[in-house]
Structure 1
Amino acid sequence: MVKRKSPANPEAIAGWKYEEKVTEIEKIIAQIEAGELGLEEVFEQFATAIEYLRQCESFLQQRQQQVDLLIETLQDET
């Protein structure tokens, strides 16, 4: 199995949107739970969902760092 690396900046991918990735993950989970996929496709879709989750986690970590920096800046100003 080839391990994919999440991009350092998910938004660098043209058209990347957090909410859309979450929706895609939810669709994949629903398909797997419904038993709509063959075994090989289950593994492929599962790998796709994991990649999307990694992208979302990276996005959220970047946003958390931005918030932390803003809070630090505000505290320094007071």
Structure 2
Amino acid sequence: MTTQDKPNLSFEEAMGELQQIVSDLEDNSLGLEASLVQFERGIGLLRNCHAFLEQAEQKIEVLINFKADGEPVTAPFNAAPTAGIADPKTLF
């Protein structure tokens, strides 16, 4: 099964399926071929989740102040990694 088989998974559904795949792989209940299929499925889910999070970060604005009339003043969210954290896009 590939990520294209279920293109409308929500972020939460994809994370739940990814957690199940990790659990299945950790308990060694699958054979080699099934493990490879699940591993590939997991990589696809991970990439989809990462893309979803990137899109969400682009929509986030930081509330920085309020105008005198009560209207909020916002600025774009800076999603750049801090403290030397590796960029997750380079992991795969």
TM > 0.5 between the two?
yes
> Looking at both structures, which has the greater relative contact order when contacts are Cα pairs under 8 Å and sequence separation is at least 6?
1
Distance, in Å, in 2 between the alignment partners of 1:56 and 1:17 is 9
Which amino acid in the other structure matches residue 65 of structure 1?
A: Q
Unaligned 5+ residue runs, structure 2? 64-72, 76-92
List alignment gaps of at least 5 residues for structure 1.
Answer: 8-12
- When you count strand as a share of all residues, which structure comes out higher? 2
The alignment yields a C-alpha RMSD, in angstroms, of 2.4
Larger Rg: 2
Aligned to 2:13: 20
Distance, in Å, in 1 between the alignment partners of 2:39 and 2:33 is 10
Give the one of 40, 44, 48 matched to 1:47.
Answer: 40
Q: Whose helix proportion is higher, 1 or 2?
A: 1
The answer to whether the aligner puts 1:36 opposite 2:32 as a matched pair is no
Q: Identity of aligned pairs, percent?
A: 30
Q: Give the residue type in structure 1 aligned to 2:38.
A: Q
Q: TM-score, structure 1 length as denominator?
A: 0.69
Give the TM-score taking structure 2 as reference length.
0.60
